[in-house]
Structure 1
Amino acid sequence: MDFQKNLVRSTLLATVSILVPYHAFAAPSAPIDHATHSPQADTRHVAQARKSALARTRPETISVFGHGSTRQMTSVTRSMMEQSVPGTSPMKVLNQLPGIVYQSADPFGAYEYSSSLYMRGFSQNQIGFTLDDIPLGDQQFNNYNGLSITRAITTDNVGGADVSQGAGAVDVASNSNLGGAIQFHSLDPSHERGGTVEQTFGSNQTFRTFARINSGDLNRSGTRFYASYARTDMNLWKGGGYDYSDQVNAKIVQPLPHDSSLKAFFDWSSTQQFDYQDMTQNYLNTIGPKLANYYPNYTAAYQAAQGIYPAQYLKSNDPYDAGYYAGTANRVDYFGGITLDENLTSHLNWKTTVYGHGDSGYSTWTTPYMPSPNGAPLSQRVQDPGIQRGGFVTAVTYGIARHKINAGVWYEYGRFTEGRSFAEAPLLGQGTLGNPTDGYPSNVFATPWQEIFHSNTFTFHLQDTFQVMKNLKINAGFKSMIVSAGNTVPTQNVAANGGLIAQGNLTASDAFLPQVSAAWRFLPHHELFFDVSKNMRTYPEDGFSTNVSATPWTETQNAFQSTKNNLRPEKDWVYELGYRYNTPVLSGLVSLYRVNFSNRLQLITSGHGINAQTAISNVGGVTTNGAEASLTVRPVNGLSIYNSFSYAHSTYDQNVLTSSGLEPTRGKLVPNYPTFMYKGSISYTWHRFKANLDGNYISSRQLTYTNDAHVPGYFLANFGMHYNFGDYKILKGINASFNVYNLFNKTYVSTTNELGNTFTAGYNYFLMGAPRQFFGTISTNF
């Protein structure tokens, strides 16, 4: 035990990062820089800092801080992402940044149902996400206005991500970013002809293949493209089933005169995933952390539906709900956009992106709560969401004297469809349900409901970045937003649903959402920044009683009508003050922030997570006070040690009145987000060899609004190493890497309350994190 304690203590002191050299301010009267112009001033400074880091420092760090930015900006680059196993979700890589906690039941972060990211207390559906300026929606499972980053682009083609922990800039194309924004960027094709081949293998029979072909420059103008294919196949770490995906990316770049460009990106992805079984504290204590669904044992699932359970299940308080035959998700996406980035003059830039996205698929769950007409005690519940959306983002940036004025518009039309059906299961001895991902069930016997949503989003922004002095910059602007959404219900079974399904229109709007920020370099290497912003989130969409998001349409028509007139969109004010310090040996960041959140909408769940009663409730205001500190030390060439600490105290401002009475939530911590986090890593590069060790500690998380149940905190460590064997004939660098996730094989709770929160302890569902995992990769370029 003493050895383990010392090892953990040593690991906590060891962490990796190299921060960029200081990026000086541009001259006050400088025109637009054609190489780095961007409508978002802060993103431009981060991009410039990243290029500087790539050119001057080795090894790279987990986080690069945006020196010169008027708000807290951190970045993850391609080289930093390569420290993780190929195919790892970029969202999981962001877990190393201050204030962010990412959870997933699988080691790659690919299992979407369990994917959960919180940033300064805000969940992922309250944060803005974009890829090359294209909105990705709110990243929730069963997304209605976008898709996950892992389906939008192969992780090997992600060039980096810029993260604004406090509040996203006014030009970010998002209608949900109450608490910051994450902007992903795709790699551009190489100027040289060639390609990349990569093979990963490891625990759970993981087998992942990636290949990319670069055309190189095809003509004197520099026309070039790449095309890539990725295939991932891995089994679940507990129980039967797998996670499988195919993905194709293509990108073409056409340089234009005056450092302008035309770029087009395309993505196709097909994903099939089996579910990990939801856990409760009772199941964890009685059955154990390896509780899983019965798949492919149809007989066991059939008998469980009849009340015949495995012996261990009888020790639990609800063996009927402990396991099912299987739960699965199938998704196919087509996604892409075209961007014209045109420098009309040396002072005027116009950038426009036109995009489209189509999504189709279905999810299945084998339920013992709905028997089949043929007498089988179970059936398959089928959910079939679909998305068709398209839009454009356009903005002009004009540089005059000490000002850079930026104005733009974002418009999107979205159509979201969803329905629920039940398909017959065979009698025992007359067949099985087989693999539910092999195709949509054909023997549907009931369709309780089908819904169609339509939405129109329009935003306008205007901002000015004023270089007051060489060492003082102020950014001020505002955003106007209006989002109109409504649904129709062409099919519904009133008796089966317990009433009419909510149907109607809602509009969320605010003509003036201001933001003011500044950065002051008061001494060499020293910088202060602050940011104040007002933000709004539109009403999320989802089907009736789906237990996914806090949407007004999850209720019955009576409940919808009673709350519609008094319902208000979520809004907040975010205040941030920070200090940065950077030298070749030492880099640091300290940030203080406060969030005043009003009209917080929560999905209130009661009863079983499967047959739960759900309702939307305005739980009033939430106040968050927090602090973050990061320190990077580079004592010798090739060695970097990084540590960060985060503290957030996020509590409800008042009690909540429900049909059951007054719930004592005032002063209680917001569920699912830890109060304290530590992130650390150490990285060392010696000639062709690289090694990194990182560790994360998160404190306990509340499971209920009244804080009468929680999951304990935990510490996880990961290890990776990489070696470049050099060139061999046409092969340009033969590389081998080895990674270990959950180095000390910690048993821990990952995602919490994936089926919604409750006021008091009971059916509080969560998912277990993966045990220790090993992965190896061999790759080369040609």
Structure 2
Amino acid sequence: MQRRLLAAGSCIGVLVVAAQPAAAQVHALPQGQKSTVSRASAKSHVGVKPDAAPARARASGALKSKNVEELTVATTRKPHGTMLSVGAQMIAREVPGTNPMKVLGEMPGVMFQSADAQGLDNYTSQLYMHGFQQQEIGMTLDGIPLGEMTYRNYNGLNPLQAISSENVARLDVSQSAGAEDVAATNNLGGSIQYVSSDPQDKMGGKIAQTFGSYNMYHTFIRFDSGKLNESGTKFYASYMRNDTKLWKGWGQQFLQQVNAKLVQPVGEASKISMFFNWSDLHMHSYDDYSFEMLDKIGPNQNYYNNGRLSGYQTAVNAANGSYSPSISRLSDPLDAAYYAGGTNNVDLLGGLTANLALTDHLRWVTTVYGHNQQNQTTWVSPYFGSPTGSPLSDLVKEPEIRRFGILSSMTYKIAHNDLSVGVWYENNHYVSPMYAYAEPSLVNGVLSGGILNDLGHFTNPFAKIFSQTYNTNTFTGFFSDTYHVTSDLSLHFGFKSMLNTTRVGNGYLDAAYYGSSDPIASGVGQTISKPFLPHIGLDYKFLTHHELFIDISENVHSYAECGYKLCASPFSVLQSAYNASAAKLKPETDWTYAIGYRFSDKLLDASVYAYRTNFFNRLQQITAGSVINPVSAVANVGGVTMNGVDAALTIRPTKYLSLYNSISYNHAVYDQNITQQGIVYHLKNQQVINYPRFMYKARLSFHWKQVEAYIDGSYTGARNFSYVGDLKAPGYWMSNFGASYDFNNLSSYLNDLKVSLNISNLTGSHWISTMGEGGNPLSLSTGAYSYQSFMIGAPRMFFGSIAAQF
């Protein structure tokens, strides 16, 4: 029987090692996806015009053709390394409602994975950028911090749940180094800044409807008020609904969202704006897979729930040790599938921003915001029976986030200098409990009650399994100066200071579940103080079309917060383990060095970007002892050295045609071996898990009059599934197609009518998508072949859309 300690998986990272007695299985859990925990983890327990974006989020100088929008490299007046901008037009080419990060995945050095075609399943969506996973990338929306993008978030929310993709004006991306002004405590690997669109000046709206494979439909409705008075007051409100059936097995993935934004100009160069978001997500997900399952039963196994009583009967039989012939062939048939699992998230997010030009040279931007998330993530366990007599119970983690904060910054332009200074404060109150809910008994085909709905709301648990309460106060400040030596040469120096304090209390463990009365860490805390995190940059434009840039920066990652043993957090352990490790803990830090060159003219764009990162103080969770109540501690286990290079070329032979190609090479290796229970595991010099050493991407885009079309293709190289590299996911090719036609100016009321067709996975490739969502094993000798921690990629799907603008 395999009882996995599942935390999340990042390629550069931390290991969580679960050592078990007898036939020991050791599983390594990386740092990146700290709170992204498998559901099965419970079983082991200068002047801006009023309509312009704030200066800190604005990118200029985008390199693009008039007719074909591409991935563009853009620079601000202060160097931020390669600042890449993905615009709304490119997002709109994809299937409506597609996660903008999937579009970002076309950028060199970026890999986006998901088990569904739109990238909406927040359990399986996974982003890597130059070897760093999403939890190590700072993310904001209009400056508002979104925290760490995890499955079970603890200090923010997934950008997908913060704004509808149709309302995204652009994504500004700072790769690897830089962006000290971003409100984040996790940006080891760069930042992604979402910028929302502003309301239109003229009254109007948009209605769009999409239909697709597996009963998918997507609806988007937006109303723009236009300017309501002479001062220019305007707003928009939108509603989005995305609903689809699972492409294998039985289940539903549903997301609905309301966005609203109001802009009030103040004078000629200032404005006050408000943004509001409500999102409601209810999703079944897909079964975690192992290589053994793939080899022996194929790729189509999913949860037992089939919407009928027979599915529940199959799950009860499996819990009692009676399996179907195909499942019984596996070494761990009990964990091959479970009855059901689901995710339920409700988020409220709001912010108020004052962007004020105090003088011609001085600008002050201040944002206050608040966020609440109610979360239920479920898993029907065959290990913990119900009081009804059923061998199954629904284990439900029910974390809640309540946070508020303020950001304020000033920019002053004098002579050749652009000076900026700013602060950010946030209080985050996070509660992380898990409860058990009773499933009905099933005797002679008769249920003793109703089967629980994993996409419903749970009440009246029969047991509390664990709980902790976290309270975190974060304060950061930054200062920067960009000195324009000449009109073509800029030098940048800045630094960030961070003070982060977390206190943990109200700890509780169920002795009956864990088999021990030892207390969980409670009444404890940690403080990270980093007064000086420097950022140095140079940007030099020479000749007519050439540009050279250099970036150097140091960054730090605050400690993770999660439930008991759900991540590599110093708090998610027993009190004795915390006492033994707390004094030795250091936060994870890194130094990144980057140099790049770009060329741009009418016919082509070319760029080369090289980088080196030294990652220190990886936190590792070491777990050993009883399978029922293992003892966990967190330790510092070394670093990762990463060297990489990206090269991209875009050719525009005509104004209607664009051909984009990019190649990425990443050599990211662990610096030390791991010794566990006297066995040395040779991680040193092995490529980091889950992220390929090589990627190639290409896209051919065509735009003529009202017709637009594209076809893309990409190759993702082999990825290490085990830390020692003795089990890999093979490389794969993927391609997509899209075409659209615009009926422009049909009437005085209907400004635009657009029809489009999209085909994802055009060639029907069979592939492994997300990896490490439940951690990664050390080696084949520790059970890597049967370890369930990757997802099967979605098959070919078709989507048709019609959208009208008024």
TM-score, length basis structure 1: 0.92
Match of 2:513 in 1: 496
Cα drift, residue 176 of structure 1: 0.2
Residues 201-238 of structure 1 deviation map (CA, whole Å, 9 limit, x = unaligned): 11110011110000000011111000000111100111
In structure 1, which of residues 417, 422, 425 is the aligned counterpart of residue 436 of structure 2? 422
Distance 1:764 1:513, change over 3 A: same
Match of 1:71 in 2: 81
In structure 1, which of residues 495, 515, 519 is the aligned counterpart of residue 539 of structure 2? 519
Question: What pairs up with 1:580-595 in 2 under 5 angstroms?
Answer: 580-595=598-613
Match of 2:735 in 1: 717
Q: Tell me the secondary structure at the aligned position of residue 91 of structure 1.
A: helix
In structure 2, which of residues 246, 253, 257 is the aligned counterpart of residue 236 of structure 1? 246
Tell me, yes or no, if structure 1 residue 744 matches structure 2 residue 763.
yes
Question: How many Å separate the matches in 1 of 2:210 and 2:527?
Answer: 47
Match of 1:23 in 2: none
Contact preservation (8 Å) 1:70, 1:473: no
Match of 1:216 in 2: 226
Cα drift, residue 636 of structure 1: 1.0
Tell me, yes or no, if structure 1 residue 60 matches structure 2 residue 69.
yes
Cα drift, residue 667 of structure 1: 1.2
Match of 2:122 in 1: 112
Distance 1:676 1:604, change over 3 A: farther
Question: What pairs up with 1:327-726 in 2 under 5 angstroms?
Answer: 327-428=341-442, 429-431=446-448, 434=451, 436-437=453-454, 439-497=456-514, 498=516, 499-503=518-522, 504-546=524-566, 549-603=567-621, 616-726=634-744
Distance 1:742 1:637, change over 3 A: same
Distance 1:603 1:83, change over 3 A: farther
Question: How many Å separate the matches in 2 of 1:107 and 1:772?
Answer: 9
Amino acid at match of 1:84: E
Amino acid at match of 1:749: I
Question: How many Å separate the matches in 2 of 1:151 and 1:433?
Answer: 31
Cα drift, residue 728 of structure 1: 3.2
Question: How many Å separate the matches in 2 of 1:699 and 1:231?
Answer: 35
Cα drift, residue 603 of structure 1: 4.9
In structure 1, which of residues 770, 773, 776 is the aligned counterpart of residue 797 of structure 2? 773
Contact preservation (8 Å) 1:605, 1:758: no
Amino acid at match of 2:482: T
Residues 78-129 of structure 1 deviation map (CA, whole Å, 9 limit, x = unaligned): 0010110111111111100111101111111110011111111111111100
Amino acid at match of 2:701: S
Question: How many Å separate the matches in 2 of 1:695 and 1:66?
Answer: 27
Contact preservation (8 Å) 1:609, 1:765: no
Larger CA deviation: 308-317 vs 139-148? 308-317
Residues 739-766 of structure 1 deviation map (CA, whole Å, 9 limit, x = unaligned): 0111111111111111112222322511
Larger CA deviation: 623-632 vs 703-712? 703-712
Contact preservation (8 Å) 2:344, 2:455: no
Q: Tell me the secondary structure at the aligned position of residue 93 of structure 2.
A: coil
Contact preservation (8 Å) 1:604, 1:756: no
Contact preservation (8 Å) 1:129, 1:135: yes
Q: Tell me the secondary structure at the aligned position of residue 200 of structure 2.
A: coil
Residues 44-97 of structure 1 deviation map (CA, whole Å, 9 limit, x = unaligned): 4x2x224x84xx611111344438645111110000101101111111111001
Distance 1:613 1:192, change over 3 A: farther
Match of 1:758 in 2: 777
Cα drift, residue 500 of structure 1: 2.2
Question: How many Å separate the matches in 1 of 2:509 and 2:628?
Answer: 19
Contact preservation (8 Å) 2:620, 2:637: yes
Cα drift, residue 150 of structure 1: 1.0
Larger CA deviation: 125-134 vs 481-490? 481-490
Distance 1:704 1:492, change over 3 A: same
Match of 1:202 in 2: 212
Contact preservation (8 Å) 1:494, 1:500: no
Tell me, yes or no, if structure 1 residue 299 matches structure 2 residue 333.
no
Question: How many Å separate the matches in 1 of 2:98 and 2:454?
Answer: 23
Question: How many Å separate the matches in 2 of 1:437 and 1:330?
Answer: 8
Question: How many Å separate the matches in 2 of 1:778 and 1:609?
Answer: 54
Contact preservation (8 Å) 1:579, 1:590: yes
Question: How many Å separate the matches in 2 of 1:202 and 1:439?
Answer: 25
Cα drift, residue 458 of structure 1: 0.3
Tell me, yes or no, if structure 1 residue 157 matches structure 2 residue 157.
no
Match of 1:171 in 2: 181
Distance 1:584 1:431, change over 3 A: farther
Amino acid at match of 1:408: G
Distance 1:532 1:558, change over 3 A: same
Distance 1:318 1:612, change over 3 A: farther
Residues 540-560 of structure 1 deviation map (CA, whole Å, 9 limit, x = unaligned): 1001022xx322223222222
Amino acid at match of 2:243: D
Larger CA deviation: 625-634 vs 310-319? 310-319
Question: How many Å separate the matches in 2 of 1:331 and 1:148?
Answer: 10
Cα drift, residue 614 of structure 1: 6.3
Residues 596-628 of structure 1 deviation map (CA, whole Å, 9 limit, x = unaligned): 111012456899999998654423011000001
Question: How many Å separate the matches in 2 of 1:416 and 1:225?
Answer: 33
TM-score, length basis structure 2: 0.89
Cα drift, residue 725 of structure 1: 2.3
Distance 1:747 1:659, change over 3 A: same
Instruction: Tell me the percent identity.
Output: 42
Amino acid at match of 1:491: Y
Distance 1:37 1:266, change over 3 A: closer
Amino acid at match of 1:93: V
Q: Tell me the secondary structure at the aligned position of residue 685 of structure 2.
A: coil
Uncovered stretches (5+) of structure 2, i.e. residues with no partner: 1-45
Tell me, yes or no, if structure 1 residue 49 matches structure 2 residue 66.
no
Uncovered stretches (5+) of structure 1, i.e. residues with no partner: 1-30
Quote the RMSD (CA, aligned, Å).
Answer: 2.0
Contact preservation (8 Å) 1:757, 1:764: no
Cα drift, residue 435 of structure 1: 5.6
Cα drift, residue 440 of structure 1: 3.0
Residues 521-543 of structure 1 deviation map (CA, whole Å, 9 limit, x = unaligned): 12110110000001101001001
Distance 1:95 1:432, change over 3 A: farther
Cα drift, residue 644 of structure 1: 0.8
Higher RCO (Cα < 8 Å, 6 or more apart): 2
Question: How many Å separate the matches in 1 of 2:721 and 2:152?
Answer: 22
Cα drift, residue 389 of structure 1: 0.3
Amino acid at match of 1:446: A
Cα drift, residue 663 of structure 1: 2.8
Question: How many Å separate the matches in 2 of 1:361 and 1:648?
Answer: 36
Contact preservation (8 Å) 2:363, 2:410: yes
Residues 252-286 of structure 1 deviation map (CA, whole Å, 9 limit, x = unaligned): 00011131010100000111010210001111111
Cα drift, residue 464 of structure 1: 0.2
